[in-house]
Amino acid sequence: MNVSRWFAWSALSVFLGAGLAGCSGGDKKAEDAAPPKESAANESPAGTPEPGEKEEVLLEPFDPPTLAELDAKAQWEPQPVGDTLQMMRAKQAKETPLVSVEEALKLRNTSPDLNDKILSVLGRVATDDAQADFDAVINRHSRVDVRSTNPILTSSFAEIDINGLTGFGMFGFDWNLEPLATSETVKSWEASKDRLYDKVVLRDDLTWSDGKPITAHDIVFTFQTIMNPKVPVPAVRAGTDKLRWIHAYDDHTVVFFHKESLATNVWNVNFPIIPKHVYEESLKKDVTLKDSDYHVQLEDNPVCGGAYTISKRTRGQEIVLTRRDSWYMHNGKQVREKPYFKEVRFRIIEDPNIALLALKNGEIDEMELNPEQWRTQTTDDEFYRLNTKASGVEWTGFQFLWNLKTPFFSDIRVRRAMAYAFNYKEMLDTLFYGLYQPSNGIFYNGAWMAPTNPAPPYTQDLDKAEQLLDDAGWQDHDGDGIRDKEINGKLEKFEFGIVVPTIPERIKVCTLLKENLAQIGIICNVRPIEFAVLQEKMMNHEFQAAFGGWGTGSDPDTSENIWGTGHERNYGFYSNKEVDKLFDLGRKEFDRKKRGALYAKIHELTYADQPYTWLFYRNSFYAFNKQLRGYTFSPRGPYHYGPGFSSIYKVKP
């Protein structure tokens, strides 16, 4: 069973409180794009302009060859198709538990050694269905509500968690971020020798939750919908825009045509799928996929292609998913492994203290812990009565983001002054209890794409900060103690706002920044904002500064739309032509060592430019109910990879 399919475009932004980012946004545009001749009847691009109407689109005209013509020239090479849960079982079969289950449940996680012992036992996946309680309900914690349940509108951690269980997908990746097609949905996957084509044959036992078959035509329709520039899907369009075309040769055979032979093509074929029969007509009337009454109704009752359906949604409180029998049963036979949980309930609790109380009372079964909770609030009998905890390395970095289009942060000297002004030691030692490590750029230290000898992280130096500000013209000209500068003939004070999710620990970091900047004559107003509003402000560049983080994507190229000039998720308007060039070269390089050197240079250049002030890397710290088993960790935490959540189960009472 692998009910979670994690999409390659998810560079997992937590910048929006619990958000996500993809790779590049759509840049290449053509006018009056027409569908290919062979597919004009039933595969026309969603949102194609009416005759005579001029409109920019992201798809160029393309006439695909016949399948016979393609087979004759492609020199197909088989690609991996597998089940990551079975792969994890095989991996763990070679590993020896360090303690017994009884001993692991008694341990208190106070050291890396004890953490290893707990995970070696409680992190083992089920090898026999008799071990799991298939009637169990799991109550999961979510810090924020989802903005949308439509898979292609996904843009947050919360939405990834929901759509990973309800959505249909063909591809995923394992705990080492190695790509594969999932055997639950794909019969075969082949790539041409020149890497310009990918051919996928779907299984013939796939249905949507309304009983309609899932076909290759759904994949084509979704691609063309994503590539409709009026459809607001920047995260999912990232990477998908590198595809030239997708064509369905029959109900089960689909071919992906790439624009170029790229190392990243293996990731660009990976995106969520929506049902053509549900959205084909409604899209013509509402390209937002969310504003019309029809789409509003679908938000609460979507047609799902995954192992679960949404059975209840109380906004701001709870989302309930129910296991779908037609996922694992087909024509009276079991064709896929039965998902472990009968229901998955996402309890939306914004306040971490209330969430922890709910965990201790058994009202939720898992939650991510902040450093204070890990160190001081989960060490007593009350916590260990029902729960245990575990941690793992996670490639998630947090930072301050500066909007370079504002008069405050367009000057690199000011951005470097911000880096020198902040008290990293107080943040790391006091706010985060020594659990996090300092960050020095976009890629995690030790990752294959990070520099071998990275620049050291900044440390606070107020004298250097003040000198840089003086050099940039930000001085106290009117003697009121606040730095100012003449801009467009008017003396402007250095006073700005920083937006931050309504999460206490993140507000504390911004408050520390405020205190530090006040020491050097700058006013920083901390503005906590509800998640959905913050998300919109970031997308629309309606901010001066922001606090948040980016997690790792499945490939370093997935960060191009954060750093590439003009890309949709480059919220701070950063631009460096050398960085753009290196991303282009990185996609074209197939040698991993050489690719790594290119991305390491990107790391160095962005760190030198300081469009962000990089703060810290966050590890995974989680609490789990003692009835849960099978949780393992990856660079994307315990859930956002394969098997991820799919391996977790409750033991029988």
Rounded to the nearest angstrom, the gap between the alpha carbon of residue 642 and the centroid of all alpha carbons in its chain is 14
In sequence order, which ranges of 422-565 are alpha helices (DSSP H)? 424-426, 462-471, 504-518, 531-539, 560-563
Structure letter (DSSP) for residue 153:
G
The pLDDT tens digits for 107-144 are 999 999 999 999 999 999 999 999 999 999 999 999 98
Assigned domain for 79 exists = no
Which one is predicted more confidently, 36 or 217?
Answer: 217
Q: Are 417 and 469 in contact (CB under 8 A)?
A: yes
- Asked if residue 402 lies in contact with residue 578, where contact means CB atoms within 8 angstroms, the answer is no
Largest CA distance in the chain: 82
Burial environment of residue 453 by CB neighbours within 10 A (0 to 12, 13 to 18, 19 or more): exposed
| pLDDT for res 204 | 97
Quote the domain boundaries for residue 496.
Answer: 394-618
Q: Span 272-294, mean pLDDT?
A: 96
Q: What is the pLDDT of residue 55?
A: 55
pLDDT the model gives residue 42:
33
pLDDT of 452 over the 60 cut: yes
Q: What is the pLDDT of residue 49?
A: 42
Whole-number pLDDT of residue 107:
98
The reply to whether 473 falls in a domain is: yes
Segment 21-78, tens digit of pLDDT? 333 233 322 222 222 333 333 343 444 444 444 455 678 889 999 999 999 999 999 9
Helix axes 504-518, 412-421, angle to 10 degrees: 110
Domain count, the chain: 1
Looking up residue 448, the CATH number of its domain turns out to be: 3.10.105.10
d(CA 157, CA 535): 12
pLDDT in tens, 305-363: 999 999 999 999 999 999 999 999 999 999 999 999 999 999 999 999 999 999 999 99
Is 334 inside any structural domain? no
pLDDT at 653: 84
Q: Which comes out higher in pLDDT, residue 653 or 613?
A: 613
Residue labelled with tokens 């920019």: 56
256, 74 contact by CB (below 8 A):
no
124 domain-assigned? no
Q: Is the peptide bond before 643 cis (omega within 30 degrees of 0)?
A: yes
β partners of residue 182: 82
Is 502 domain-assigned?
yes
User: Beta strand pairing status for 186-192 and 197-202?
Assistant: antiparallel
Residue 504 in any domain: the answer is yes
Residues 460-515 have pLDDT tens digits of 999 999 999 999 999 999 999 999 999 999 999 999 999 999 989 999 999 999 99
CA distance 171 to 153: 18
Percentages helix, strand, coil for the chain, rounded to the nearest 5?
30, 25, 45
Proportion of the chain above pLDDT 90, given as a percent: 83
CA distance 370 to 489: 47
pLDDT of residue 234: 81
Note whether residue 437 is domain-resident: yes
- Contact assessment for residue 581 and residue 589, using Cβ atoms and an 8 Å cutoff: no
Q: Please name the residue ranges forming H helices in 503-616.
A: 504-518, 531-539, 560-563, 577-588, 592-609
Tokens 């490590």 -> residue: 437
* pTM recorded for the entire structure: 0.87
CA-wise closest residue to 419 among 442, 439, 434, 403: 439
| Percent over 70 (pLDDT), the chain | 91
The Cα 410–Cα 408 span in angstroms is: 6
Dihedral sign for Cα atoms in the order 181, 184, 190, 196: negative
* Range with the poorest average pLDDT among 16-30, 332-346, 577-591, 639-653: 16-30
